[in-house]
């Protein structure tokens, strides 16, 4: 993005060679500008920062490490004042070189004063250990977002989440520190968290239509292709049509009615039957496992029309094992790959983790695809397309057929 190199035989390879205050890039064209001990080498730092902000997209950021006057060879010099910087900016001089000197010398508060004067929003700042502790760091964002933890370039807050041990602990700490609405970063992606019941109701219930869109994470295309389907991940009109259909079918199956209560009671009876069968024996009763199977059976019965009992219970444990293994991919390598799957998919060690995640996901998708294929084959065999559906997948397949037969173009049942 930015390169100012000296002509020498050992110059590093770069994509762009240009003055840092005159970048050959379009407005709003890059995700971020990162620089370390660069700003002080420009005679007009105001022009330079304006140039960096010009090329960054809304939602992107400018990340700067700047040497602190009191920790460098600049200590004997007087600090550069805001008035002097404004004067330089108003009367530009042509041909002012660098000569490896520092045109400006600052402490942290001087640069913060400059930012306040020009209304440049500083998302975060801190004295850092950069270059043996001689610098301080400022971080600008191009859009107004709620406050949150300080993100690192490329990584965002992924490492902080890992240090907490699990995401829940990190979110609770950030809720206490930043309030009921805060922003954390998944790589370069800002995620705004609403962590208060009243705000959740106001935002997603009373104003739900405004927030009905779904952001598609980069890794979803790896598993699903370019088109994202389904009521959970889709957005726009596709989501509205799928949501209407899903709610209609689930109500027909008893959601919110006594019929659903009967389904739950059936599973509870089966669970207590297993407990009674072990009463008086030396075998321990693993209650969490029994509850897992009961909940899985209720969901599977709605989706595919059968419970996890007898030989079918093995299917449940195979799927649950794969899901548990996916949840265990919470290490930094996996989280970074999830943010940059195309960039890092063939780079060790990310490629190895990516391969493991893909195998687990493909196993889960294969389970769903086999059940859907089985339903399609049974419907084609018996031709019973007009009878009331027995489960959600059968209802979906029948709706697909009905819309196709009536030439209803533009629907999202495919």
pLDDT tens string 357-409: 999 999 999 999 999 999 999 999 988 888 899 999 999 999 988 888 876 65
Distance CA 67, CA 82 (A): 17
What mean pLDDT is predicted for residues 73-96? Answer: 87
pLDDT band at 226 (very low <50, low <70, confident <90, very high): low
Q: Could you identify the residue written with the tokens 């595919």?
A: 304
4-13, 50-59, 75-84, 188-197, range with the lowest pLDDT:
4-13
Highest mean pLDDT among 205-209, 224-228, 247-251: 247-251
Q: Over 80: is that where the pLDDT of 99 sits? A: no
User: What pLDDT is stored for residue 73 in this prediction?
Assistant: 85
User: What pLDDT is stored for residue 5 in this prediction?
Assistant: 43
Q: What are the residue boundaries of the structural domains of the chain, listed by start?
A: 30-141, 254-405
What mean pLDDT is predicted for residues 107-135? Answer: 73
Q: Over 70: is that where the pLDDT of 129 sits? A: no
pLDDT band at 4 (very low <50, low <70, confident <90, very high): very low
The arrangement of secondary structure in 30-141, i.e. its CATH architecture, is 3-Layer(aba) Sandwich (3.40)
């Amino acid at each position: 993005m930015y390169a100012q190199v000296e002509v020498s035989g050992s110059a590093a390879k770069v994509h762009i060679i240009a003055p840092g205050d005159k970048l050959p890039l379009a407005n709003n064209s890059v995700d971020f500008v990162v620089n370390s001990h660069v700003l002080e080498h420009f005679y007009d730092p105001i022009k330079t920062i304006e140039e960096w902000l010009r090329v960054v997209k809304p939602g992107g950021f400018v990340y700067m490490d700047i040497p602190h006057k009191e920790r460098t060879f600049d200590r004997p010099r007087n600090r550069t004042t805001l008035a002097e910087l404004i004067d330089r900016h108003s009367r530009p001089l042509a041909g002012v070189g660098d000569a490896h000197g520092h045109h400006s010398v600052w402490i942290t508060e001087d640069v913060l004063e400059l930012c306040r004067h020009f209304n440049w929003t500083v998302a975060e700042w801190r004295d850092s250990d950069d270059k043996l502790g001689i610098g301080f760091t400022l971080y600008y964002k191009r859009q107004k977002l709620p406050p949150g933890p300080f993100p690192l370039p490329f990584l965002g807050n992924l490492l902080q989440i890992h240090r907490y041990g699990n995401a829940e602990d990190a979110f609770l700490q950030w809720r206490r520190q930043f309030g009921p609405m805060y922003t954390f970063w998944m790589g370069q992606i800002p995620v705004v968290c609403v962590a208060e019941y009243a705000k959740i109701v106001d935002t997603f219930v009373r104003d739900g239509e405004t927030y009905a869109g779904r952001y598609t994470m980069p890794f979803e295309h790896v598993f699903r292709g370019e088109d994202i389907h389904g009521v959970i991940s889709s957005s726009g009109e596709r989501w509205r049509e799928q949501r209407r259909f899903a709610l209609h079918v689930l109500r027909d199956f008893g959601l919110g009615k006594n019929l659903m209560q009967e389904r739950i009671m059936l599973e509870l009876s089966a669970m207590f039957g297993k407990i009674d069968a072990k009463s008086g024996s030396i075998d321990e009763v693993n209650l969490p496992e029994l509850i897992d199977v009961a909940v899985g059976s209720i969901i599977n019965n709605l989706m595919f029309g059968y419970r996890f009992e007898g030989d079918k219970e093995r299917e449940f444990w195979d799927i649950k094992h794969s899901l548990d293994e996916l949840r265990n991919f919470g290490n930094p390598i996996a989280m970074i790959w999830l943010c940059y799957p195309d960039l890092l998919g063939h780079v060790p060690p990310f490629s190895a983790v990516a391969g493991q995640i893909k195998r687990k996901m493909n196993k889960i998708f294969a389970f769903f695809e086999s059940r859907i294929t089985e339903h399609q084959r049974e419907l084609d065999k018996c031709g019973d397309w007009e009878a009331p559906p027995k489960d959600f997948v059968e209802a979906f397949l029948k709706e697909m057929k009905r819309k196709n037969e009536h030439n209803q173009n533009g629907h999202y049942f495919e």
